[in-house]
Amino acid sequence: MLRPIARFFYQHPNLSLALLLAIPLLWLGIIYFASLFALLLQSFFRLDDFTGQVIREFSLSSYKQLFHPANLDIILRTVLMALAVSLMCAFLAFPLAYKMAKSQFWLKSLLYLLVLMPLWSSYVVRVYSWKLILAKEGVISYTVKLLHLEWLLKWVLSLPLIGGPSLSVSLLGTFIVFVYIWLPYMVLPIAAAIERIPQSLIEASQDLGGHGGQTFWKIIFPLALPGVVAGSIFTFSLTLGDFIIPGIIGNSQFFLGQVVLLQQGTAGNIPLAAAFSVVPMLIMAIYLTLAQRMGAFRAL
């Protein structure tokens, strides 16, 4: 029986290689989707309040708990933070990406290197570095004192919701670190989208009397918008599920990733943790559907 199989592999080497690669990928796919199914199944169980044991009976009690005001506040805070981070990343990334796309080869290579260089270091190390930078005795506070702008920093930190004792213990500090960490994921798709814009369209706009603003809003931005949306997929989804940055930077306000970690770890409430995990999955399903309609996947 082994001889015909060996002969088949010998006579069709390309097909044999494809099969050898497809088998482990198939198993990985099965494991991945089986894990998602197990997660979804766990969300329909409930935790016994008296014994602390998981009752494996169909129940919507975990999903009902999501509509508690405190849990809705966590979901809303996380989604708003993800949207704010995506918008700020797009605002900061667009001019840099345009410069990268339209520069000479040596400058383009240098800019790509500078954008990618932070990704070579440890994610946790970068976050802890920002913890020191944003601290009350950190570089930012020291620079503000040198410029005699302590009043401005105190005013910003006194603002409700985003303020706190220092930048490292505030929602604003969390926002700053999120933007810094995820910015490269926005720059690269936008740069790729801008590189595909024909230079002839920009020159035609200029020949027809269009000034810089008109050329940008009517030619460059609409054609680069799929790249912006593609980058926002990364920044939005990564912010939505991150639990390390809010745990190191910021105040005691929880985000979705932290709640999932807390419920499945300290609290031991696996069904509620699974229900919370379904929330970003549903949000991203809606987000990806909208992104696909805007042509974002063509810019990836």
- For 67-124, the pLDDT digits (tens) are 999 899 999 999 999 999 999 999 999 999 988 888 888 888 898 899 988 888 888 8
Question: 54 pairs with which residues across the strands?
Answer: 47
CB 238 within 8 A of CB 184: no
pLDDT band at residue 18 under the 50/70/90 scheme: low
CB 236 within 8 A of CB 189: no
User: Tokens 């506040």 appear where?
Assistant: 73
Mean pLDDT value of segment 41-57: 80
Mean pLDDT value of segment 247-263: 86
- The closest alpha carbon to 258, from 174, 192, 200, belongs to 174
Q: Which is more confident, 218 or 252?
A: 218
From residue 225, give the alpha-carbon distance in Å to each of 65, 91, 153: 38, 12, 35
Question: 46 pairs with which residues across the strands?
Answer: 55
DSSP for 217-246, written as a single string: IIIIHHHHHHHHHHHHHHHHHHHHH--HHH
Mean pLDDT value of segment 218-240: 88
pTM attached to this predicted model: 0.86
Mean pLDDT value of segment 15-36: 73
* Residue range 137-147, pLDDT digits in tens: 888 888 888 88
pLDDT above 70: residue 276:
yes
CB 123 within 8 A of CB 162: no
What proportion of the chain, given as a percentage, has pLDDT over 90?
Answer: 20
What pLDDT is attached to residue 186?
Answer: 93
Write down the mean pLDDT value for the chain: 84
The alpha-carbon radius of gyration of the chain (Å, integer) is 25
